[in-house]
Amino acid sequence: MRKLVFATNNKHKLEEVSNVSRDSIEILSLKDINCFDDIPETADTLKDNALMKAQYIYDKYGYNCFADDTGLEVEALGGRPGVFSARYAGEDQNSERNIKKLLSELEGEINRKAKFRTVVALIENGEIKYFEGIIKGHITNKPVGSSGFGYDPVFIPEGFSQTFAEIGSELKNKISHRALAINELKKYLNLR
């Protein structure tokens, strides 16, 4: 089985990706390779942030690896919070405050269309490849549900009547933006 490091410190992302890929890729965490560094994410795009994280691990530790960056892009806000989704309400990455700020900015707004977009950067033997997953939906007026993380309590995916936080991790792991991007990564790896 192929081994890849997933360059993230986010335990929720690690769990999500491990569930999506468990049959074909062994995912190593940063902890598994004794990396406890605070990896920089200072780029202006999801693609560049994903590459920055993967490149850091590949250069410093020598492992084939991948990293992702995800953003919630809200149509009425011109695509914000986008690349700044995790730090929308401040550097401490507080989901509750991020949601509060988002809902405050959308107060009275009729257009609630949004999409989650994930970009994965893979570095394998020095070669770089990108994979993307997008799921469209809309933002609720208030948080609903208790599972998931980040903006899950306020995002209802197209074709559903419940938020990501209500549908549960098993279904979310099949339809989410991250699952779509990781499935593209898996397809690519299985062809090689």
**Which tokens go with 55?**
């490149």
Asked if residue 182 lies in contact with residue 17, where contact means CB atoms within 8 angstroms, the answer is: yes
The active-site residue, picked from 23, 32, 44, 69, is 69
**Which tokens go with 12?**
């929720």
Question: Which letter, b or e, does each residue of 29-68 get, where b requires 16 or more Cβ atoms within 10 Å of its Cβ?
Answer: ebeebebeeebebeeeebbbbbbbbbbbbbeeeebbbbbb
Active site residue 69: yes
**Which tokens go with 69?**
């960056």
The residues, any chain, with a CB within 8 Å of residue 106's CB and separated by 6 or more, are: 74, 76, 77, 112, 139
CA atoms of 69 and 133, how far apart (whole Å): 11
User: Nearest-5° angle of CA 122, CA 124, CA 129?
Assistant: 40
Asked if residue 157 lies in contact with residue 177, where contact means CB atoms within 8 angstroms, the answer is: no
Active-site residue numbers? 69
